[in-house]
């Protein structure tokens, strides 16, 4: 089995496609592909941290596909490999096996805490 997040989009609604650091060169190169308006863009030296009202990635299309898929940041390419806690999918393990409902709820709570921390940063 292989990790393929698209099969979970009906359940997860691309909750992982939120506020992520986008390297400046990717950010600048893809300004014409923005789908969502940014309410804030935080410059974190080597990357930009774009914030939208919905807290989804500004390049996420309505059908939950990525508008810069071929040029997406490394963090997006690595998502699901579980090499870091922030790269864990709440619904699938790194091998593409669906997590139990209890495990999903646990992972979702962790994601919600991280999103809330980012909201605090955005409000500063």
pLDDT at 104: 93
60 touches 14 (CB < 8 A): yes
* pLDDT for res 110: 85
Give me the pLDDT at residue 119, please: 66
Give the lowest-confidence range in 14-18, 24-28, 39-43. 14-18
Element (H, E) at 101: helix 101-123
Give the confidence band of 15 by pLDDT, cuts at 50, 70, 90: confident
Residue 108: CA atoms inside 13 Å, Cβ hemisphere, count?
13
Task: Indicate if the pLDDT at residue 22 is higher than 90.
Answer: yes
Instruction: Say whether pTM exceeds 0.85.
Output: no
Nearest Cα neighbor of 114 from 46, 8, 20 is 20
Nearest to 76 by CA among 67, 39, 2, 38: 67
Is there a contact between 114 and 84 (Cβ–Cβ < 8 Å)?
A: no
For residue range 94-121, what is the model confidence (pLDDT) as tens digits?
Answer: 999 999 999 999 988 887 887 777 666 6
Q: How do residues 34-77 score in pLDDT, each as one tens digit?
A: 999 999 999 998 999 999 999 899 999 999 999 999 999 999 99
| CA separation for the pair 29, 59 (Å, rounded) | 12
């Amino acid at each position: 089995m292989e990790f393929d997040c698209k099969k979970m989009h009906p359940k997860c609604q691309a909750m992982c496609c939120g506020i992520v650091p986008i390297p400046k060169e990717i950010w600048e190169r893809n300004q014409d592909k923005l789908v969502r308006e940014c309410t804030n863009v935080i410059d974190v030296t080597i990357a930009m941290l774009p914030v939208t009202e919905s807290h989804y990635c500004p390049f996420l299309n309505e059908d939950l596909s990525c508008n810069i898929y071929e040029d997406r940041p490394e963090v997006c390419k690595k998502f699901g490999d579980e090499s870091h806690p922030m790269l864990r999918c709440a619904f699938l393990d790194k091998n593409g096996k669906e997590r139990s409902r209890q495990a999903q709820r646990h992972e979702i709570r962790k994601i919600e805490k991280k999103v809330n921390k980012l909201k605090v940063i955005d409000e500063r």
